[in-house]
Amino acid sequence: MISLKGKVAIVGAADTQVGVIPLLSATQLCIDAALKAIEDAGISKDEVDGLITCNSMAEPILYHAEAIAEYLQIFPKYCMSVSTGGGTTFSVLHHAASAIVTGVCDTVLISMADSLRSGLTKEQAMAAQASTGHNQFELPYGPTVPAYYALIAQAHMEQYGTTSEQFARVSVAARKHANLNPEAQMRELITVEDVIHSKKIADPLHLLDCSLISDGGSAVIVTSAERAADFPNHPVYLLGVGEGHSHEHLSQARSLTTSAAVESGQRAFKMAGLSPKNIDFAQLYDCFTPTVLIELEDLGFCEKGEGGAFVESGAIELGGTLPVNTHGGLLSHCHPGNPGSMFALTEAVTQLRHQAGARQVPKAEVALVHGQGGIMSSHTTLILGREVE
């Protein structure tokens, strides 16, 4: 098997404004992110010969990547759009890497954006939240996305004695990091008590256990490792990548407390030739607080069932043994739907460039970035390095 380790690098990365941005549509945000990433890489748009985008919920386009190429007036050799959840948003990075390594193209732009806050009505948003279940076994009972994750939370509490206060610690840590990030949507510090006393959404999940709803976009530029030194910023290398897929609908899941992050993580670590102890910080998909505990366990940062104690110890905060979601994550930085995990990727690049300012992880050399889509269904793990190990 041909390994992608060290074969490509991220040489450009940029985000748009996030939060509520009514003056820019989802398409305009996607273009804005793309142009900013191109500028960050110090190239012209004509040097981009590969393009990957993610379709928008607020402004869907039948041939999305082709439309974005048309807006940019670029004419790529390689053009693909995806319309999957946060888990496989990251899988596009190994698609881009494969295209570069096989000579299909040289420089790939990955750009994603959406306008879930200002581009959808409340009714449209609720319809989307209620439409993800199995037509026969789930939808007739009326659950929405938070209810599915509440089932996962309840299962973890029942099996391992996890508490609501431990879930809350995830949100508190995310907000501490967002407080240091001037671009974050929500920056006001919160306490465990604030989380526990916020509105109950789906037992045991409270409002502050749930991710934000946002507008925003993010983009990166990927090229070969051989060319990476020619760009103005320190390159960030892809060291390992792995996917894991366990189910589509929660009623068909093999387990509510163990996910396919086990497989995706093992595959990524194997490619990188590294282990969890080599990771300086992690960017974990945090659509709801329980997902972070399960991901920490499944990726090998703590034993199964010890995720609650791990976050309670302060390990995931800046200064802890494994800072997590240093930009604020989906819980506090922003969450514009499928593109939400892209901000974890650009934050990892910023950290590995040593450009994160007040939230910088000291001597950051190796990062793990993990996304999951569906209801803990599809997982992708990336391991990124400041140098090729």
- pLDDT tens by residue, 258-312: 999 999 999 999 999 999 999 999 999 999 999 999 999 999 999 999 999 999 9
Tens-digit pLDDT profile for residues 114-135? 999 998 887 887 777 767 788 8
CB 80 within 8 A of CB 67: no
C-alpha dist (Å) from residue 342 to 15, 87, 247, 321, 324: 9, 11, 23, 24, 15
The yes-or-no verdict on residue 46 having pLDDT over 70 is yes
DSSP state of 340: G
Say which residue the tokens 């093999």 belong to.
254
379 lies in some domain: no
Residues sharing a CB contact under 8 Å with residue 319, sequence separation 6 or more, in sequence order: none
**pLDDT more than 90, % of the chain:** 87
3-state secondary structure at position 108? strand
Cα–Cα distance between 144 and 139 in angstroms, integer? 9
C-alpha dist (Å) from residue 273 to 6, 207, 279, 294, 389: 11, 39, 12, 23, 8
Token code pair at residue 10: 């991220």
Q: What pLDDT is recorded for position 126?
A: 73
105 lies in some domain: yes
- Residue 40: which H helix or E strand, with range? helix 26-41
The yes-or-no verdict on residue 150 having pLDDT over 80 is yes
CATH number for position 97 = 3.40.47.10
**CB-based burial of residue 76 (10 Å sphere; 0-12 exposed, 13-18 middle, 19+ buried)?**
buried
The yes-or-no verdict on residue 143 having pLDDT over 90 is no
Confidence category of residue 2, pLDDT binned at 50, 70, 90: confident
Domain that holds residue 63: 8-120+214-228
371 lies in some domain: no
Tens-digit pLDDT profile for residues 158-192? 999 999 999 999 999 999 999 999 999 999 999 99
CB 286 within 8 A of CB 292: yes
167 lies in some domain: no
Q: Structurally, how many domains does the chain consist of?
A: 1
24 lies in some domain: yes
Q: What pLDDT is recorded for position 89?
A: 78
255 lies in some domain: no
Average pLDDT, the chain: 95
Q: What pLDDT is recorded for position 234?
A: 97
Q: What pLDDT is recorded for position 123?
A: 80
Please give the average per-residue pLDDT across 213-233, as a whole number. Answer: 96
- Residue 384: which H helix or E strand, with range? strand 378-385
Q: What pLDDT is recorded for position 84?
A: 67
Q: What pLDDT is recorded for position 88?
A: 65
Residue 324 has φ and ψ, to the nearest 5°, of -125, 135
42 lies in some domain: yes
Tens-digit pLDDT profile for residues 60-99? 999 999 999 999 999 999 999 987 677 767 889 999 999 9
Q: What pLDDT is recorded for position 1?
A: 58
Cα–Cα distance between 205 and 213 in angstroms, integer? 16
- Residue 307: which H helix or E strand, with range? helix 307-312
Cα–Cα distance between 281 and 359 in angstroms, integer? 12
Token code pair at residue 160: 């391992």
Please give the average per-residue pLDDT across 341-370, as a whole number. Answer: 97
Please give the average per-residue pLDDT across 139-147, as a whole number. Answer: 87
Give the bridge partners for 238, in sequence order: 384
Q: What pLDDT is recorded for position 142?
A: 82
CB 174 within 8 A of CB 332: yes
